[in-house]
């Protein structure tokens, strides 16, 4: 066990986070380059349709984040215990089952495409079909990526993320120049996901022991664990993406297109600490498996996240007009003041993302009830009060702050209980 434990000893949270930060920054910058290019080459209405469909994709692809975390956790667990044969078996079993599930989701999505198209006011079914295909690849791609994360092969994992953004940007420009319009923009995501999926499989060659081993009842344990992971990710995605969908429904198409620029740039705050979460999760899993203290890692992760996201929020507060006009064009300048509110809203959720990952890595699920409650409250409030875009952002800010404070108090109480239990034993 000592030999495997050196994985975390050899990789500090800071160095691993910096490696993944470089990769995710390439991905995020490429994604924003994609968004900036499309904001200038698509009509405002088409740009609003693009981001409403992408927001729907983010919510529907919640299980993909769950798959990434589930595969990562159990691969990390078996690696820690030197059970590479079981890791290989688990990988193959999950791949078969999730591929079958992905096919079913795609068929269901296609069958519901007329309803989706009507609700989002998209005039054609083809963009909805393309997003359905992206959802299919998004379901199966986290299996090899999660294995790379669980093995702490952060170099290959980072390369996959970087390529995902670069391929999306390059193919998006190519398809749009060829007259693809909205369909070409969506097709770029499909191309990028497909290529990175097959590359990730090649990165895993030779990673596992050549023999497989029976898992016993572990698959049942994995699927039981998948439920809290799924619910927590679904709640977080609803909290951070439902605004775009609801605005597309309640507001004129022109307003939704303008708001899309604010949402795209504002969510940078949420995605900046992705690298920290990716590095934190397998490390906490490993230390928790070995019954070691994990709260020191949490404090570091929250501090790094606060610094990185805080810098972004500061930029939004100081120069929203310049950022929106320079990046998206002058036609989006009327909604630039909203960027201040959006940045503040996303700061809470970036910290909540770290707390969620930490809790799931150590198999603590009590926090989920607060996430579900906050998602229900936020959607209900937006549906009831949507007189202006500012009003919607105030609702998101209040829900995020309340949820963050509650979860910090919950963790503080739990840590004190652990401390008292160790002192009394």
Q: What is the DSSP string of 32-64?
A: HHHHHHHHHHS-HHHHHHHHHHHHHHHHHTHHH
Identify the band that residue 15 occupies on the pLDDT scale cut at 50, 70 and 90.
confident
Q: Is the pLDDT of residue 290 over 80?
A: no
Please report, rounded to a whole number, the percentage of residues in the chain having pLDDT higher than 90: 25
How many domains does the structure of the chain reveal? 1
Q: What is the pLDDT of residue 334?
A: 87
- pTM attached to this predicted model: 0.69
- Greatest mean pLDDT among 20-34, 115-129, 178-192, 344-358 lies in 344-358
Rounded Cα gap, residues 48 and 42, in angstroms: 9
Question: Which residues lie closer than 8 Å to 67 by C-beta, 6 or more apart?
Answer: 94, 98, 139, 142, 143, 146
Rounded Cα gap, residues 264 and 271, in angstroms: 11
Q: What is the pLDDT of residue 144?
A: 92
How many CA atoms are closer than 13 Å to the CA of 221, on its beta-carbon side? 10
Question: Which residues lie closer than 8 Å to 170 by C-beta, 6 or more apart?
Answer: none
Q: What is the pLDDT of residue 5?
A: 40
Q: Is the pLDDT of residue 89 over 70?
A: yes
Query: Which domain range does residue 180 map to?
Result: 2-424
Rounded Cα gap, residues 158 and 268, in angstroms: 18
Q: What is the pLDDT of residue 285?
A: 80
C-alpha to C-alpha distances, 410 to 285, 352, 404, 419, nearest whole angstrom:
20, 12, 10, 14
Identify the band that residue 333 occupies on the pLDDT scale cut at 50, 70 and 90.
confident
Q: Is the pLDDT of residue 8 over 60?
A: no
């Amino acid at each position: 066990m000592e030999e495997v434990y050196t994985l975390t000893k050899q990789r500090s949270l800071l160095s691993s986070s910096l490696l993944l930060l470089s990769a995710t920054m390439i991905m995020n910058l490429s994604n924003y380059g994609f968004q900036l290019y499309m904001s200038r080459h698509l009509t405002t209405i088409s740009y609003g349709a693009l981001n409403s469909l992408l927001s729907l994709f983010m919510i529907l692809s919640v299980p993909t984040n769950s798959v990434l975390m589930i595969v990562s956790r159990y691969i990390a667990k078996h690696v820690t215990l030197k059970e590479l044969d079981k890791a290989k078996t688990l990988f193959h079993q999950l791949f078969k089952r999730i591929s079958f599930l992905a096919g079913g989701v795609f068929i269901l999505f296609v069958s519901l495409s007329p309803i989706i198209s009507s609700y989002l006011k998209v005039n054609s079914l083809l963009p909805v079909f393309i997003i359905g295909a992206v959802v299919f690849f998004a379901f199966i791609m986290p299996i090899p990526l999660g294995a790379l994360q669980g093995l702490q092969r952060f170099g290959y994992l980072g390369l996959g993320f970087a390529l995902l953004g670069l391929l999306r940007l390059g193919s998006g420009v190519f398809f749009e120049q060829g007259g693809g319009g909205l369909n070409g923009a969506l097709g770029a995501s499909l191309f990028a996901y497909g290529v990175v999926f097959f590359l990730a499989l090649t990165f895993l060659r030779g990673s596992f022991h050549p023999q497989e081993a029976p898992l016993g009842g572990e698959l049942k344990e994995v699927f039981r664990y998948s439920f809290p992971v799924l619910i927590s990710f679904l709640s977080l995605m609803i909290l951070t993406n439902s605004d775009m969908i609801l605005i597309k429904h309640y507001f004129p198409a022109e307003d939704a297109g303008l708001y899309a620029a604010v949402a795209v740039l504002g969510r940078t705050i949420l995605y900046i600490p992705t690298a920290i979460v990716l590095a934190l999760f397998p490390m906490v899993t490993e230390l928790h498996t070995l019954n070691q203290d994990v709260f020191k890692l949490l404090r570091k992760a929250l501090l790094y996240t606060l610094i990185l996201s805080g810098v972004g929020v500061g930029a939004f507060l100081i120069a929203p007009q310049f950022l929106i006009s320079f990046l998206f064009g002058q036609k989006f300048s009327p909604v630039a003041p909203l960027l201040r509110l959006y940045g503040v809203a996303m700061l809470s959720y970036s910290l909540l993302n770290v707390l969620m990952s930490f809790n799931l890595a150590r198999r603590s699920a009590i926090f989920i009830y607060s996430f579900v409650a906050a998602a229900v409250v936020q959607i209900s409030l937006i549906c009831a009060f949507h007189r202006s875009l500012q009003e919607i952002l105030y609702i998101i800010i209040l829900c995020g702050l309340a949820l963050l404070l509650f979860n910090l108090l919950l963790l503080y109480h739990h840590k004190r209980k652990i401390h008292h239990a160790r002192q009394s034993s």
